[in-house]
Amino acid sequence: MKVAVTGSGGFIGQHLVPKLINIIDEVVEISRSKGYDISNWDSLTDLSKCDVIIHLAAKTFVPDSFENPRAFYSFNTLSTINMLELARLWKAKVIYMSSYFYGPPQYIPVDEKHPIHPHNPYAHSKYISEELCRGYSLDFNIPVIAFRPFNIYGPGQKGYFLIPEILEKIKTEHTIKLKDPRPKRDFIHVSDVVSAILLAIEYKNHSGFEVFNLGTGNSVSVKEIVSEIAKQSRVNFDVEYTHEYREGEVLDSIANCSKLINKLNWKASVSLKTGISTILS
User: Could you write out the three-class secondary structure of 177-205?
Assistant: EECCCCCEECEEEHHHHHHHHHHHHHCCC
Phi (first) and psi of residue 79, to 5 degrees: -65, -35
**DSSP letter at 23?**
H
Contact 148, 100 (CB under 8 A): yes
Which amino acid appears at position 122 of this protein? Y
Does residue 177 belong to any structural domain of this protein?
no
Q: Where would I find the H helices in the chain?
A: 11-23, 62-67, 69-90, 121-140, 162-169, 190-202, 222-232, 258-264, 272-280
Does residue 10 belong to any structural domain of this protein?
yes
CATH code for position 35: 3.40.50.720
Query: Could you give the strand order of the β-sheet that contains 52-55, starting from the edge strand earlier in sequence?
Result: 26-30, 2-6, 52-55, 93-97, 144-149, 209-214
User: What does pTM read for this prediction?
Assistant: 0.94
Per-residue pLDDT in tens (0 to 9) along the chain, 281 residues: 999 999 999 999 999 999 999 999 999 999 988 999 999 999 999 999 999 999 999 998 888 999 999 999 999 999 999 999 999 999 999 999 999 999 899 999 999 999 999 989 999 999 999 999 999 999 999 999 999 999 999 999 987 789 999 999 998 889 999 999 999 999 999 999 999 999 999 998 677 999 999 999 999 999 999 999 999 998 899 999 998 877 667 889 999 999 999 999 999 999 999 999 999 98
| Tally of structural domains, the chain | 1
Does residue 222 belong to any structural domain of this protein?
no
Does residue 14 belong to any structural domain of this protein?
yes
Does residue 277 belong to any structural domain of this protein?
no
Does residue 40 belong to any structural domain of this protein?
yes
Segments forming the whole domain that contains residue 113: 2-158+187-216+255-269
